[in-house]
Structure 1
Amino acid sequence: MGSEVYPVCLPCEEESTMYLIKWIFTTVRREIETALRPLGLTSPQSQTLYILAVSPGVTNTDLERLLLIDKSSVTSLVNGIVKKNWAIRKSHPEDARMKQIYLTEEGLEIHKVAERTIVAIKSSVGETLSVGESETLRGLLKKILRDYHPEDTRV
């Protein structure tokens, strides 16, 4: 750290907050993707397995909202994890047109390995800032998000 080479950008972007946020996100995501590759997992698959582990029975619509991706991307993602036998679809008890998604035993095991890997990467990133600095940064980022999504009470 400290001697990173930033990607080529316009001079006016070098000190842009949004550019720095994007660059940090991209860097951490690449580290996570590199660590997950030997497990046969992508970052979106890992995120989906996590959601299924903490919220068994979610639907495609739930995943669209939680993963911030569109309907066709969710369909492809779910088809992929079902094909790998990491999840199964079951009919919704109240609406047969909807399917609920559940982890299989194999999916739960791969999720646990992936989660340990990601926690290790994120904790090393977290060592850069003090607890107070982290809290301040999260507060500032939430403030920016509220400007874009004032109706969202989660922010």
Structure 2
Amino acid sequence: MATNSNLTARGGETERSNLALGRLGDFVGFRLRRVQNQLSRKFAAANADMGLRSGLFSSLAIVAANPGISQSELSSEVGLDKSVTVTIIDELEKYGWAERRRSPDDRRRHALYVTPEGDRQLDRLFARMEEVEGAVLHSLTEAEHQMLNDVLDRMYDAVVREL
């Protein structure tokens, strides 16, 4: 059964909410989205000086981890519509953080690569992400954190298999 441990941010302070989750509390998707929304909001606030669009950081990080990835592979991995992914790649190129190159294997597709400037920005963004998530993850032990990652990875694999 769902418990009510809702915390909300109001006026820069966090307080316990008296709102019940009701039946939504029984669904993992809602609980995951609720945490993700709060972390995204805090990450966006931490990076307001950069004016980053949603999805830009994760896309850049995936490209860095997978040099030569195609636009469609990136779109699939980050869960964004292909047209949104193209816009994000355009923006990454505009910032000078990534570049498209013709794939050596298939001239019809673009391979994506992070530039040295993109690597510098990733270091900066990951440091900020560590600050944002560190404030939340301190409530978990290292074993719980690892278990959470393992469970989330298994859930992701199950969802992708269903598609």
Match of 1:3 in 2: 15
Structure 1 unmatched runs, 5+: none
TM-score (norm 2): 0.75
Name the residue aligned to 1:68: 79
* Alignment pair present for 1:53 and 2:64: yes
Give, in whole Å, the separation in 1 of the partners of 2:62 and 2:36.
20
**1:28-107 to 2 correspondence within 5 Å?**
28-107=39-118
Q: Which residue of 112, 127, 138 corresponds with 2:123? A: 112
Number of corresponding residues: 151
Q: Is it true that 1:13 corresponds to 2:37 in the alignment?
A: no
Return 5+ residue gaps in structure 2 as ranges: 1-6, 8-13
| Residues 63 and 74 in structure 2, CA contact (< 8 A), matched pair in contact too | no
Aligned partner of 2:139 in structure 1 is 128
Q: Would the aligned equivalents of 2:46 and 2:128 in 1 still touch at CA under 8 Å?
A: yes
Please report the TM-score for the alignment, with normalisation by the length of structure 1.
Answer: 0.79
Cα RMSD, aligned residues only? 2.8
Relative contact order (C-alpha < 8 Å, sep 6+): which is higher? 1
Q: Between the two proteins, what is the percent identity of the paired residues?
A: 21
Whether 1:22 aligns to 2:22 is: no
Q: CA deviation at 1:131?
A: 2.8
